[in-house]
Structure 1
């Protein structure tokens, strides 16, 4: 395991460095997360619904399939280039990352339910606004989807991740994997659902509104299920004070992890944005190519469960590093796709490795936090650094592709970013183990 979790004990005052977890002590009996129970599993189910409705639908609306790099390019926003259209999804992803610090601070301050309810309302309202957009009106889609839905996601996805640390310790990775699997299943269900609605007699507007209505009902249920469980602290407990940002910036393994995340984010969304379009442009049947993103999400379902279970037993670094290198290899393998079988195999494998990367990373950030009260700010700072990479990554890839679709340029760029990020993640692990005085061969 990444951090050995000892039985509950009375914390004692430490005279050591501020990075040491014992500094956050005051003689308070801290029983730690219960690793289960009704509230814990209700929160996992509620979080699953948030990811099913939020990132599951967003993976459809903003990153591929009907409403972006395929549908937008070929049908809805034909007056815009792939690079211009990519800014919509990139801005949505970037906004949910960019607000990580204020959202993380608000979570640590006890505003979990305020964030989840407010974010749910904004997300649903914005999705209804997407349904009112007119063909060729780029600004309407950008405001409703890029800005509105991005803000709603920003207020919900990080608290949903962070609250798992309130309920789970030893099984934290697996719980996060179960919760984030909702995004994979949503990414399978919503493309098929919307494809039938939009290309049926309902059309784009009614199809999106019907989807928004379903999501509104599910998010209402999700908000009733989720629970927060902050540690019980005395009034003068030092842990009630927010962790100074300078401490996080001085945490070298953590900062190496952030640099790795920036590079990985630059390249990791490339297949989700462009593999479907790549398949169509290379002669694969359009009806089959439509399901490419569903194949990616199907692989992601596997990648969010088994790797997270393994991470709880062999260590989060030891799962995340191989998954990151595998993502790089699979992105480069896109250039070798020649038929539908190749596209399906790459989609499934990439979905699994990408799913492992996405779901194990929050578990890693929780594990390297020195105290449960700083999980929110550590995750928030991490994802805030991801925002520029998420914003510029796919427009850069789109610009490299050009309107003539020179595929090797965008593919090589993304592959190199993923390789570099994976190498720095290895460095982060090395630095973390050296600081703890452990062996480089240990399970961590």
Structure 2
């Protein structure tokens, strides 16, 4: 029998005994707190938790994994389908798709905290699949049609899927959160392997339209499975802070804001190979039937990159893993300047996939750690990704403009854009180190000297 029920059936005279009423109130509050902990607390395992990870894996496969295959579209559009547009114009399609995936972050995060997880997942799944089929109907050299279907439609659908699928993991995992996120975001790497092969093979054997229809069908099946598998935990009801107050608290969090600045700088340069590696391989004289696999190899390296650093991040701390990974990423971008052979591209792709994949999977853990005890994990995750999304929007178009400057005629100039990308990532790594220093100085690494 619960304390509340016992209190209801006690005679009024007994409840008037001095001290009994206050004691019953204390027991009632303890019982309520225990129920809230049992209902809403992370379990770090169990059927629902691992089913949710499986669903998140599928969402990551269909969102980030599909976006990571944009290099295929960049190559096809540049050489054929949108040959009337420059590489910079075409890269706006992919960058705006990424931007729409991140830009609604504040609103999506607030909706997550308000309990609208499943509504967003269903709406986002429908919008992404519908837009994929619309992309299969666009006509050659009609830039605005491609932009609306791919950049706006698919991007917005992914925006309703991406952030909620990462944030829900914190409802199920705490001690093993980094590793759980690593497993989930491995779906992006697996998708980054399968999507380029699927799109390239179907484009060669049939048409680009059929390739997009097949992509829409596959995404529809996987997202339907994800909707069924993901289980949001019922959490204790609490008054929801207004978005204005939530954003105000974020702006006053110095380590958090520095980490967002670091992530924004990284986003300017990190995705250059994901957009241009296949085109780079073809331009360097690599046979097309081999160049088509460079993106798949790049994302294959990301599988280990999303698992191994996250496994150690739960033991060594996410900051201690993400800073060296970003430093190696900047060095690898410079190494790309001297790569000329297919064998060299394979080694570069695997290494870059590992280091860049580790950053992509570790940044949610950083945000989660910086958001601890804030009471609004969705809003903070969304705020971070909204800011990062803007820099992702302009990063690859800048690199596309550097790749094809006005005086170059039809030739591609790779040195300026590669150096720009490397410098941006290196600056991001430096700022992440500064964020860690402030985090430790404020004593937020735990009373027991928790590793960060």
TM-score, normalised to structure 1's length?
A: 0.89
d(CA) in 2 for partners of 1:299 and 1:259? Answer: 26
Number of aligned residue pairs: give it.
Answer: 411
* Pair 1:76-2:81 in alignment: yes
Structure whose alpha-carbon radius of gyration is higher: 2
Aligned to 2:427: 420
d(CA) in 2 for partners of 1:442 and 1:52? Answer: 33
Aligned to 2:123: 118
Aligned to 1:371: 373
* Pair 1:408-2:415 in alignment: yes
Q: In structure 2, which of residues 212, 232, 237 is the aligned counterpart of residue 208 of structure 1? A: 212
CA RMSD for the aligned pairs?
Answer: 1.9
- Mark the runs of 5 or more structure 2 residues left unpaired by the alignment: 1-29, 405-409
2:77 and 2:90 in contact (8 A); partners too: yes
d(CA) in 1 for partners of 2:397 and 2:117? Answer: 33
Q: How does 1:43-122 map to 2 (within 5 A)?
A: 43-60=52-69, 63-65=70-72, 67-68=73-74, 70-122=75-127
d(CA) in 1 for partners of 2:220 and 2:307? Answer: 26
Task: Look up the SS of the partner of 1:64 in the other structure.
Answer: helix
Partner deviation per Cα, 1:59-104 (whole Å, 9 max, x = no partner): 22xx202x22x11111211101000000000001011111100000
User: How far 1:271 sits from its partner (Å)?
Assistant: 1.0
Aligned to 1:33: 42
1:26 and 1:238 in contact (8 A); partners too: no
d(CA) in 2 for partners of 1:52 and 1:37? Answer: 23
Aligned to 1:140: 145
Aligned to 2:182: 177
User: How far 1:194 sits from its partner (Å)?
Assistant: 2.1
Aligned to 1:390: 392
Aligned to 2:313: 311
d(CA) in 2 for partners of 1:437 and 1:149? Answer: 39
Aligned to 1:130: 135
d(CA) in 1 for partners of 2:98 and 2:52? Answer: 24
1:280 and 1:286 in contact (8 A); partners too: yes
Task: Look up the SS of the partner of 1:304 in the other structure.
Answer: helix
2:45 and 2:173 in contact (8 A); partners too: yes
d(CA) in 1 for partners of 2:214 and 2:281? Answer: 29
Aligned to 1:7: none
d(CA) in 2 for partners of 1:127 and 1:241? Answer: 35
Aligned to 2:14: none
d(CA) in 2 for partners of 1:101 and 1:413? Answer: 29
User: How far 1:230 sits from its partner (Å)?
Assistant: 4.4
User: How far 1:238 sits from its partner (Å)?
Assistant: 5.3
1:166 and 1:230 in contact (8 A); partners too: no
Cα 1:103–1:437 change in 2 (3 A) is: closer
Q: Larger deviation: 238-247 or 107-116? A: 238-247
1:134 and 1:140 in contact (8 A); partners too: yes
Aligned to 1:227: 231
Aligned to 1:431: 438
Aligned to 2:401: 399
User: How far 1:278 sits from its partner (Å)?
Assistant: 1.4
- Mark the runs of 5 or more structure 1 residues left unpaired by the alignment: 1-24
d(CA) in 2 for partners of 1:438 and 1:135? Answer: 55
Cα 1:437–1:206 change in 2 (3 A) is: closer
d(CA) in 2 for partners of 1:113 and 1:337? Answer: 46
Partner deviation per Cα, 1:335-386 (whole Å, 9 max, x = no partner): 0112111111111000001110000100111122133731111111101111
1:165 and 1:372 in contact (8 A); partners too: no
Partner deviation per Cα, 1:140-173 (whole Å, 9 max, x = no partner): 1100000000000000000000000000001111
User: How far 1:244 sits from its partner (Å)?
Assistant: 2.3
Aligned to 1:276: 278
Q: How does 1:293-312 map to 2 (within 5 A)?
A: 293-312=295-314
Aligned to 2:12: none
Q: Larger deviation: 186-195 or 256-265? A: 186-195
Cα 1:26–1:395 change in 2 (3 A) is: farther
d(CA) in 2 for partners of 1:131 and 1:373? Answer: 43
Task: Look up the SS of the partner of 2:68 in the other structure.
Answer: helix
Aligned to 2:6: none
d(CA) in 1 for partners of 2:172 and 2:433? Answer: 29
d(CA) in 2 for partners of 1:149 and 1:238? Answer: 34
d(CA) in 2 for partners of 1:122 and 1:437? Answer: 40
Task: Look up the SS of the partner of 1:351 in the other structure.
Answer: helix
Cα 1:94–1:438 change in 2 (3 A) is: closer
1:127 and 1:209 in contact (8 A); partners too: yes
Partner deviation per Cα, 1:255-294 (whole Å, 9 max, x = no partner): 0001001100000001111122112111222211111100
